[in-house]
Structure 1
Amino acid sequence: MITLNQSYTYEELLRNLQESVAQYPDFTVYKEVGESHDERSIPMLRVGLGLDALILTAGIHGKESINPVLLTRMAQEYSQAYQDNLNMGNYPVRELLDHCSICFLPIVNPDGYVIATESFNAIRNPILRQACKMRGVDWPYWKYNARTVDINRNFPCKSYIQQQFGEYPASEQETKALIRVFEQCDTIGYLDFHSRGRIIYYYRQAMPFSYNQRNHKLARYMQKLSNYSLGKQEEEYLSRLNGGSPVNYYSELLHRPAITVETVEENADFPLNPSCQERTYEEIRMLPLEIIAQSVGNSEPLKNPQKIR
């Protein structure tokens, strides 16, 4: 299992996800949902037997290297609790994941992750490597993919705005991969984990009042668990260039809850220090279970499973 407060390579995270299927074959499924421009697998681990699913993503921005580790650890902890029929806090993991599975996508942008954790030399394609170097951004601060596109601004929704030549809505392979997941899975909602400010953003400007009211209710439950702040409505688009995100696209496509969770402190510098992993994990580890509990109307613990903190 992932040990917190230490760094992991892309290959190590991938191996941890693949090993989960070998360890828990009865209720986990590993799938490569796409491939990056530098030919790296975009992995997904589905945990549980529920026909519906809650989608979790991280690593859309390369430099946000904490959340890929935390979501991989979360998938492992949930799997162990499911197998042993344990409660996590007040949440009966097996019962909840039999109602609704969780699709973990910890590294949506693997090329960005390897750049931010290893350097531009990790990009094997010499043309892509040179294009990245010419962007003028130091590699520890790299948030783009290997084609220098910000995946978090590439989704074909109402707020999309082209930000550079050669980019268009869903032009990137990473974007297409996540869109396929949205389209092919029967989902109850979507949580996207980023790293800036310990804030939960729930408001979607393109969506009706009733949608945002429901999102706000879920965000309040998440706030109580994490002690994060709630983002203000006007903060959804800090500028015209802040649109085109996967939560915007998912909400418009499916009209189901789509919430952004920003971990770590606002003033945290890059590269992010692995020492913040343990605290951050404690803040977010129950959030997906709360969303599922709300969806099935049952957050009370079972009598049989052993409770774990």
Structure 2
Amino acid sequence: MTKIINWAILGPGKIAKKFALGLEHVPNANLYAAASRSLDKAKDFAEEMGADNAYGSYTEMLNDPEVDAVYVATPHVFHHEHTLLCLKHKKAVLCEKPFAMNKEQVKEMINFAQKQDTFLMEAMWTNFLPHFKYTSEIIKSGKYGKVLSMEADFGFNAPFDPESRIYNKSLGGGSLLDIGIYPIFAALSFLGKPKKIEATAEMTKTEVDARCHATFTYPENVKAELYSFVDKETDVAATIKLEKAEIYITPRFHNPSSVVITTPTDSFTKEFGVTANGYNFEAEHVGEMLRENRKESTDMTFAKSLELIETLDQVREKIGLEY
């Protein structure tokens, strides 16, 4: 019999609800528990999303022997602390992106997971979406020649509120870590590590970036132009131009989506028939990893997460964003 994975959610907020909805489409997965610093909040979440148990303490939930895996969904600045807490209790961890605030924290998390011989993975859910995997494979195959350029954006308009997670520096606010991570991850996935990084930003009164524009330069002067905004709506699309075709990932490129490939003689749209919200794919992958007794993902590897946070650190340095 295939083992049922009992999932627990640490930090029952907006993103946690999306994960819980995705989990409903995962075979042999159960939303077992939710924990918050507020028992009432945990109970409300458990009732709404169908979790079996609610805890008003993270440690109390982690002491429950029935918990197999924990989805850490607290704000960015707490990812490091809460991941270490889960690993201390030898619970498998899927930690929401960004993995942590900087490379040093990520390295500590990985080292501790290895020391504890316990599974850990960054929840970069886009990495597991069928359209994203398809695009990556098409580019790497060389079927349409070399990449000539790439452009990707992610923007939404959040009213300025210095206390909100989006604009509060003490909560890791700003566009880069929250949503700029998606265009940057796409560039790393499709083109690899850049030779050169340039970046500019428009900062808020709270000293976080409302807008960020990064340019990644690759050999033969191939460039990726990457944009993020928390004060402006954008299409949230990605375009990759190759020698023999243009690949357009329809809005919103980080969500389950479709891919339009245009050549000089033809244009076709590749659909993927995804009916769930997409969070199911990463959860299903973690379940597979746990059943195989793996301590590191074979897909969203530690190396990928380290490369991503290292790149984010470099962009932060360029725009003068310090936490």
What TM-score comes out, normalization by structure 2 length?
Answer: 0.28
Kindly name which structure, 1 or 2, has the bigger radius of gyration based on alpha carbons.
2
More strand by share: 2
Q: TM-score, normalised by structure 1?
A: 0.29
